[in-house]
Amino acid sequence: MRLAESIYPDLLPTLPGIPEPRVERALVRAAQELCRRARCWKEWTDPVRTRGAGEYDVDLPSYAQAEVVELMTVNGNQRDMLPYGLLPETPADARGANIVPGRLQFHVTGNYADGAEIRFRLVLVPTDNSPGVPDSVYDQHSELLAIGVRSICMLDRDKPWTDLQMAAVNAQAFSAGIARATVRAWRGYTDGTRRARVGWC
């Protein structure tokens, strides 16, 4: 976890006199927008071993909430999922994930044998009370996060660092940077271009 003190020295020239707690809140907000739009913080959950039909909780990293459930595997094999709210009244073979801040829960029907190992690949976002940014996100996007912090803090009213014009400039640069990060994440952090597969019916 990288705290505001990691980015604070780089911000002082453009945000004179800004207190570190203000930077901390702006850093988390910038990281939330980056992670939500670019999907750049992804983690596989630890295996959850089933014990028959029922609901199960999934442990998430500290100060993280699940934004998107991308994949699910059962005993290492990818399986389809149904959103929790779309489960039929009497599901025959349905699985789903119910996302609430800081918590992930899924429902298992009677079609799984006891002892099945279920894992999820999640897109995560820092929680509002997070003290900082995950190392993996900060190490790749520290410069972009600094731009995002400037775009937020320069909008503060009647402060020594208030600069509405530069706030707009930084906001535009931040948005453009997120777009590039989104493409990079979509390509799987490779230099190659992902090709679409053609399927024939």
Q: Give per-residue burial for 6-24: e unless 16+ CB within 10 Å, then b.
A: bbbeebeebbeebeeebbb
Share of residues in the chain with pLDDT > 70 (%): 80
In a domain, 199, yes or no: no
Residue 123 has pLDDT above 80, yes or no: yes
Whether 177 is covered by a domain: the verdict is: yes
CA distances from 168 to 23, 30, 69, 145, 153 (A): 18, 15, 33, 15, 11
Rounded distance, CA 6 to CA 142, Å? 9
192 in a structural domain: no
Of 99, 126, 153, the last residue of a domain is 126
Q: Is the domain of 34 the same as that of 60?
A: no
Whether residue 195 is contained in a domain is answered as: no
Does residue 53 belong to any structural domain of this protein? yes
Residues 51 and 33 placed together within one structural domain of the fold: no
Output 92 or 144, whichever has higher pLDDT: 144
For the chain, the maximum distance between any two Cα atoms, rounded to a whole number of angstroms, is 64
- Mean pLDDT to the nearest integer, 87-113: 57
Give the pLDDT of residue 85: 42
Average pLDDT over residues 135-164: 96
Q: Does residue 201 belong to any structural domain of this protein? A: no
Contact indicator for 9, 124 with CB cutoff of 8 Å: no
Which of 41, 35, 68 has the alpha carbon at shortest distance from 178? 35
* Residue 63 reports pLDDT greater than 80: yes
Region 6-28: what's the mean pLDDT? 93
Per-residue model confidence (pLDDT) at position 110: 65
Task: Return mean pLDDT, the chain.
Answer: 83
Domains identified in the chain, total number: 2
Nearest in space to 100 (alpha carbons), one of 126, 72, 56, 65: 65
Residues 67 and 95 in one domain: yes
Structural domain includes residue 200:
no
Full domain range(s) for residue 75: 42-126
Residue 193 lies in a domain: no
| Residues 151 and 108 grouped into a single domain | no
Task: Determine the average pLDDT of the residues in 31-59.
Answer: 90
Cα 93 → chain centroid:
29
Q: Which of 45-54, 86-95, 109-118, 154-163 has the lowest mean pLDDT?
A: 86-95
